[in-house]
Homo-oligomer: A and B are copies of this chain.
Amino acid sequence: MDIKGVNLGNWLVLEKWMSPALFEGTTAEDEYHLPRQLSKEVYEARIRVHRSEYISERDFLAIRRMGMNAVRIPVPYFIFGDRPPFIGCIKELDRAFDWAEKYNLKVLIDLHTAPLSQNGFDNGGLCGVCRWSQTPGEVEYVLQVLEKLSVRYGQRKGLLGMEPINEPITEPMWKRMDVPSRYPASDPEQAAGSAPNTLEFLRDFYTNAYNRIRPHMAEDCFVVFHDGFQMKAWKDFLTRPHFQNVMLDTHLYLMLAEQDGCPRTMDGYLAYIEEHYAQDIREVQEYVPVICGEWCLFNSYAVGVDTRGGQSVLNGMEFSGNKERFTPEQKKEIYRTLANALLSAWSVGSGYFYWSYKVLLDTCGDPNWIGWDSWDLGRCVDEGWVRG
């Protein structure tokens, strides 16, 4: 298994920073609040045009042409359309499978959000709230969504696997990110009682999810578990004899390395990649296939300012006077060197998915975005930063 893939981020699960225009005229910071600040008609119009234009058949061809063999598709819990005011998107996923199969790509279905959120991140759909795992009815709801997805796609030729939940946060990351401050809840009452998920809960949820979806999935498809930002906590769990074709997903961003104390220099990054990423993957890959399901080239050194863990202009961070620090040739050299090191780390495991395929940033209109184009694999390939 040598997965070379890319995430179709911001297509079916919105992140404001990746397409700010979708959120125009509102103060919503996340997907949950967007329909609550727009009329039903306007919300629907924005969402439908976005879904039809952001990703279409042509993108699957482009991704194949980049040398990829897989896409990871984040989907929301309301994909079946049973959670108004949200609009379902199962037809879009159907189409994605048709396109993936036409262009020889495999699909990893990634349930990216849960009601009341599994992490409190903006990309979890509801900033500052993390109460899903404390709400048994919603845990059961998610299991039902997963089961329905497995029934619908479990035998599709294009299916690579299913990931029951993306980035369920656990205590160390909850503290490191200081979620309540970094992603302030707009409704403190809704956030009250928020707390990281426990590993006990996750083991239980993963077991239930496995049992509900595995029977519907073709044998060679994978059930992919996110590590909750604790790559080494899963050995006993994942080596249980009755698990077949399970996989661990870990997300390794350089901005997290920076938060962990990695120096913002090329030597610093390269050492960190070898000593932490490659080593950890090597260790884990001994007992379970591991993929890096999210990563990108973005880092403070290349951007030229301390991004404070990837905080953006949309987090209220203004990098006033932001300018390119390096020439295009220097940037190419930096990114290529990092890409080689990172790709070589992922190749110790079972592969990777870049985050993300496409980001709608305007570095001319807002210089605060200078350097953020490295989140966009299309741009990275076109710039020659990653070899397509």
Contacts and interface: CB of A to CB of B under 8 A. Distances in A.
Query: Number of contact residues on A: which range applies?
Result: 35 or more
Contacts of A373: 57-58
A53 interface: yes
A1 interface: no
Nearest to A41: B42
Contact of A45 (B19, B49, B52, B62): B49
Interface string A63-96: 0110000000000000000000000000000010
Contacts of A262: none
Given A45-B49, A53-B360, A360-B56, A382 B61 contact: yes
A21 B42 contact: no
A48 interface: yes
A93 to B, nearest CB: 13
Identical subunits present: 2
Interface string A371-388: 001001011001100000
B378 A62 contact: yes
B49 A362 contact: no
A236 to B, nearest CB: 43
B58 A364 contact: no
Q: Which of A46, A102, A361, A383 has the most CB of B within 10 A?
A: A46
A45 B24 CA distance: 10
A139 interface: no
A22 interface: yes
Interface of A is mostly: helix
B364 A57 contact: yes
A53 B19 contact: yes
A63 to B, nearest CB: 9
Nearest to A47: B49
A294 interface: no
A53 B56 contact: no
Given A48-B24, A53-B49, A95 B362 contact: yes
A21 B58 contact: no
Given A58-B376, A58-B378, A50 B53 contact: yes
22 contacts: A19-B53, A21-B49, A39-B41, A41-B42, A46-B46, A46-B49, A53-B360, A56-B360, A56-B361, A57-B362, A57-B363, A57-B364, A58-B359, A58-B361, A58-B378, A58-B379, A61-B383, A62-B378, A64-B382, A65-B382, A95-B362, A95-B365
Interface of A: 19, 21-22, 24, 39, 41-42, 45-46, 48-50, 52-54, 56-58, 61-62, 64-65, 95, 98-99, 102, 358-365, 373, 376, 378-379, 382-383
A-B complex: 3 closest residue pairs judged by Cβ atoms: A21-B52, A45-B45, A98-B364
